[in-house]
Chains A and B, each alone.
Chain A
Amino acid sequence: MDSLRNSLRRLNPLSETATEQSQGTQTQGSLAGRLRDSDFVESMPFWLPPTLLVLLFVYGAIAWNIAISFTGWSGLGQPEYTDLSLEMYRQLPADQNFRASLWNTILLLITFTGSSLVVGLGLALLVDRKIRFENTFRTIYLLPMALSFVVTAIFWSWMYASNGVINTTLNVFGLDLLTHNWIGNPQFKLAAVIVALIWQFSGYCMIVYLAGLRAIPDEHYEAARIDGASTLKLYWRVIIPQLRSSTIGAVVVLMVFALKAFDFIYVMFGTNPGRSVDILAVTMYREAFSSSQWAYGAAIAVVLFALALTIIGPYAYTQYKRGAL
């Protein structure tokens, strides 16, 4: 502990003078001296500035947003903090656009997360079978994750275009019946987005599951074989249940990404993608920054925030209970 304190002093000339002063005043109040000498005070220069910045720009901004959502602020004026009400929240349930985007957000959240997990697990199980070129496959599957949403959105809009890769391929095989205007037809728009996002994120799930699979000792496979389990039962009853914590970790990350799928939809469709693929993040942006309905946009943001909390909250709580936080 002393060596740490010394190294801290060396790093920070401020505390050096503080220590000298405290030595000079040691005969006075020992409480003040002890306080100045304490690790808490000495380490302050390191953690206080970032803490203040985070408090101001993250939690301060959240608080300010919540405050705005209680006002009636719109247009070019300034928000009136004297007249606060739940008016904006009262309008939400009646708003067809909001309801559609809430529904789309939840649908996206569930289908995207579920499908990515299933695809990722499948890939992980295949790659884990000590195949050749395992590293190559792993890199190929993970690569989409490294790309920005902007790039993948443009890439997929080429794929989905009426004369794009998908339709052209279908035509080549004489499946003209199946060609559609994937990103024009409201029936397919959300599905098109979900498929593209699965493509981008199943590689991540694969890596998470692969790490989980690697942590399972070979003896579990062998013991199960000796116990007489078929391959299917072996995975279903012995291996996959052991991937529970991998799954929970991946679910949280995927859901948070799904809530933030804004960039992808914004690049592909702009601020007004249409009711069939509107999600809360896009609606919020449109209300606030296109229509200047600041308070209404802020209220939607609060709903989005609450959704994110309901996902993270239980996870954070269980991690805390297990002592992992």
Chain B
Amino acid sequence: MADLQLDAVTKVFTERDGNQITAVDDVSLTIEDGEFLVLVGPSGCGKSTTLRMVAGLESISAGQVRLGDTVVNDSKPKDRNIAMVFQSYALYPHMTVRENMAFGLQESTTMPDDEIERTVESAADMLGIEELLERKPDDLSGGQQQRVALGRAIVRDPEVFLLDEPLSNLDAKLRAQMRTELKRLQNDLDVATIYVTHDQTEAMTMADKIAILNDGELQQVGTPLECYHEPANLFVASFIGEPSMNFFDVTRDDSRLVHDHFRYDLSNETGDELASAQGELVLGVRPEDIDLQSTPDGAHTYATVVDVVEPMGNENNVYLTIGDEQTQTFVATVDGMHHVEAGETVYAHIPESAVHIFDRQSGHALRNRTVESTTIPETKL
């Protein structure tokens, strides 16, 4: 068992007309033994390419991938001691479940047949697919195929477990169930895992550590709650969280932030903190941090008109407009029992403690919301 390290890993594709496209740009990551890292980002951000470079399915243009102390850049996939679960599962359709699971052991080890048999059966037992061993993949449901694909990876007893959007072909309910199951399984196996997804919910719920990629560049690496509460930049702030963070383009005018439709006064404390932050900024606030009040009460409260209400049962997503032209919209998440209706005028309170400030040019976070350190619970199981 060993740590997996990516050191300034870069992937450049050369197109037929000679154009060079950098799919992965200078990505450095460390995945400790037993750690569950989720690589998340929008489609085309280079997350799958990164995973494929670790797997050895894609050559590495620059940088190093190390497993323990060994550089594996030029090793073939089979010499890397990794196992991978594909989005499409890639089960061999002409083999039974048993044969699918045994294939890797037969090809990559000298393990005797009876031992392979035992290993396959214990993995099947672990995943609850013993009854399916003699079936062909075509006879299985999506969830069962998913388990077989996991089983095929588990039997190899790999040092690194790679999962490429493994839940994206499942329906929503099964996906939620498999999320917990996968997390528990990874915890039991205690193997370094890279999990690629574009779904921020999967990232938040499963990861020990999230790495967020955009345009081939690493944006932030941190625990899910760090990424949520202390986003490094505008991209992370907008990508993590559902509904996503509200942003207002503002300019700094001494101790206040000026928006086209409102002004936001900064306390002395915050003003000092943001001493260097001048000119064009972005004010960000998460929907759940906005309070809706029926009467204006206190500072940082603004009159808004309810545009649309999305009832979720436990909570309502309330889309609000501010200003006469109703050009700026934003969303607040309120308790499901809190009754508001479209067209109503409500007062939105944006507490200063929940406000994020970003530099509009670079996108860097200049100030993140204040979080009591005790409010971030330990995520390790």
A-B contact count (CB 8 A): 63
Q: How far is the CB of B150 from chain A (nearest CB, A)?
A: 13
Q: Which of A227, A237, A244 contacts B78 (CB 8 A)?
A: A227
Q: Which of A217, A228, A244 contacts B88 (CB 8 A)?
A: A217
**Given the interface contacts A219-B86, A223-B84, A244-B94, does A228 sit within 8 Å of B57 by beta carbon?**
no
> Is A34 an interface residue, CB under 8 A from the partner?
no
> Is A233 an interface residue, CB under 8 A from the partner?
yes
Contact A226 B103, beta carbon cutoff 8 Å: no
> Is A229 an interface residue, CB under 8 A from the partner?
yes
CA–CA, A146 to B264, complex, Å? 79
Query: How many B residues face the partner with a CB closer than 8 A?
Result: 23
Which residues of B from 98 to 146 have beta carbons under 8 Å from A?
103-104, 107-109
CA–CA, A222 to B52, complex, Å? 10
CA–CA, A220 to B93, complex, Å? 10
CA–CA, A226 to B94, complex, Å? 18
Contact B93 A242, beta carbon cutoff 8 Å: yes
Residues of B within 8 A of A233 (CB): 107
Contact B94 A222, beta carbon cutoff 8 Å: no
Contact B90 A228, beta carbon cutoff 8 Å: no
Which residues of B from 54 to 82 have beta carbons under 8 Å from A?
55-57, 76-78, 82
Q: Which of A219, A237, A244 contacts B90 (CB 8 A)?
A: A219
Contact B88 A227, beta carbon cutoff 8 Å: no
Contact B94 A223, beta carbon cutoff 8 Å: no
CA–CA, A225 to B78, complex, Å? 6
Residues of A within 8 A of B103 (CB): 224, 227, 229, 237-238
CA–CA, A244 to B109, complex, Å? 28
> Is A241 an interface residue, CB under 8 A from the partner?
yes
Q: Which of A220, A226, A230 contacts B84 (CB 8 A)?
A: A226
CA–CA, A40 to B142, complex, Å? 42
Residues of A within 8 A of B87 (CB): 219
Contact B90 A225, beta carbon cutoff 8 Å: no
**Given the interface contacts A228-B108, A237-B103, does A222 sit within 8 Å of B78 by beta carbon?**
no
Interface residues on A, range: 10 to 19
Residues of A within 8 A of B78 (CB): 225-229
Contact A227 B104, beta carbon cutoff 8 Å: yes
Q: Which of B57, B83, B108 contacts A222 (CB 8 A)?
A: B57
Residues of A within 8 A of B13 (CB): none
**Given the interface contacts A222-B86, A223-B84, A223-B86, does A228 sit within 8 Å of B104 by beta carbon?**
yes
Residues of B within 8 A of A226 (CB): 55-57, 77-78, 82-84, 104
Contact A227 B107, beta carbon cutoff 8 Å: yes
Contact A242 B94, beta carbon cutoff 8 Å: yes
Residues of A within 8 A of B109 (CB): 228
CA–CA, A223 to B108, complex, Å? 12
Q: How far is the CB of A233 from chain B (nearest CB, A)?
A: 6
Which residues of A from 200 to 254 have beta carbons under 8 Å from B?
217, 219-220, 222-230, 233, 237-238, 241-242, 244
Residues of A within 8 A of B90 (CB): 217, 219-220, 222-223
| Listed residue (A223, A225, A229) with the most chain B CB atoms within 10 angstroms of its CB | A223
Q: How far is the CB of A212 from chain B (nearest CB, A)?
A: 12
| Listed residue (B57, B83, B107, B152) with the most chain A CB atoms within 10 angstroms of its CB | B107
Q: How far is the CB of B191 from chain A (nearest CB, A)?
A: 15
Beta-carbon nearest neighbor of A218 in chain B: B90
CA–CA, A224 to B57, complex, Å? 11
Beta-carbon nearest neighbor of A217 in chain B: B88
CA–CA, A233 to B106, complex, Å? 11
Beta-carbon nearest neighbor of A230 in chain B: B107
Contact A228 B107, beta carbon cutoff 8 Å: yes
Beta-carbon nearest neighbor of A244 in chain B: B94
Beta-carbon nearest neighbor of B99 in chain A: A237
Q: How far is the CB of A243 from chain B (nearest CB, A)?
A: 10
Contact A241 B94, beta carbon cutoff 8 Å: yes
- 15 inter-chain pairs at a CB distance below 8 angstroms, sorted by A residue, are A219-B87, A220-B90, A222-B77, A223-B84, A223-B92, A224-B92, A224-B103, A225-B78, A226-B55, A226-B56, A227-B103, A227-B108, A228-B78, A228-B107, A238-B92
> Top 9 nearest A-B pairs by Cβ distance?
A228-B108, A228-B78, A219-B90, A227-B104, A223-B90, A228-B107, A241-B94, A229-B107, A226-B77
Instruction: Spell out A's residues near B (CB within 8 Å).
Output: 217, 219-220, 222-230, 233, 237-238, 241-242, 244
